[in-house]
Amino acid sequence: MNRKHILIVGGTGMLAELTSYLAIEQDVTVIGRDKEKMASIVQRNPETCHPLIVDYREEEALSNALQRAVKQRGPFDRVIAWVHRGSGRAMQLILNHSENSEVIHILGSRANPEYEKRCLCLNAQQTYRQVQLGEMHEMASVRWLTHDEIVKGVLDAMQNQDDYRLIGTRKDDVNVHSRND
């Protein structure tokens, strides 16, 4: 089987189940800082899940780590990036090392998707998609998404090739929305 190379940035937190699921059939490189958290994810698929322990706010360390991963396993076919806001050039550096990839940029609920996209330099060979985390309205209360809901929403967005998907709801929205721009 021709395995793809997938990069998951922040793949040891709320995306951990996505990391493990994709590593069943693909080579998955995972970025995180905490060695114990990383080890617990890698041991589920030790042959195909490859750790990159790096702080993505450290530009040189991030660039070197991404270069190393590409050299070892080939270019990234797909990138799933959950990068905290205020992390400097991290997202741009990830894009710079993913020239021919399908990139899924995961945004928190407070992010402005158009602004986030405008801030980035994309190249013509790259596909850039956004998945935004919303909230869940249940009866009279509002709660954050569960990790399962987030993982399912990201997988759905990948399968449907949505340019933008909101998981959950925002204000008066109901259910999962997708928009192809």
Which residue(s) pair with 135 in the sheet? 144, 169
Encode 42-58: b = buried (16+ Cβ within 10 Å), e = exposed: beebeebbbbbebebee
Residue 20 binds ligand NAP, judged by CB under 6 A: no
Of residues 145, 151, 154, 166, which one binds ligand NAP by CB under 6 A?
A: 145
* Residue 87 near residue 31, CB atoms below 8 Å: no
Specify the residue, 68 or 123, whose C-beta has the smaller distance to ligand NAP: 68
Q: How far is the CB of 136 from ligand NAP (least distance, A)?
A: 9
Specify the residue, 55 or 99, whose C-beta has the smaller distance to ligand NAP: 55
Specify the residue, 36 or 47, whose C-beta has the smaller distance to ligand NAP: 36
Q: Which residues ranging from 52 to 91 are in contact with ligand NAP (CB under 6 A)?
A: 55-57, 82, 84
Q: Give the list of residues 6+ apart from residue 124 with CB closer than 8 angstroms, or none.
A: none
Q: How far is the CB of 124 from ligand NAP (least distance, A)?
A: 28
DSSP readout, 47-59?
TTEEEEE--TTSH
Q: How far is the CB of 120 from ligand NAP (least distance, A)?
A: 18
Residue 109 binds ligand NAP, judged by CB under 6 A: yes
CA distance 62 to 12: 17
CA distance 131 to 127: 13
- Chain residues binding ligand NAP by CB under 6 A are 10-15, 31-34, 37, 55-57, 82, 84, 108-109, 133, 135, 144-145, 147
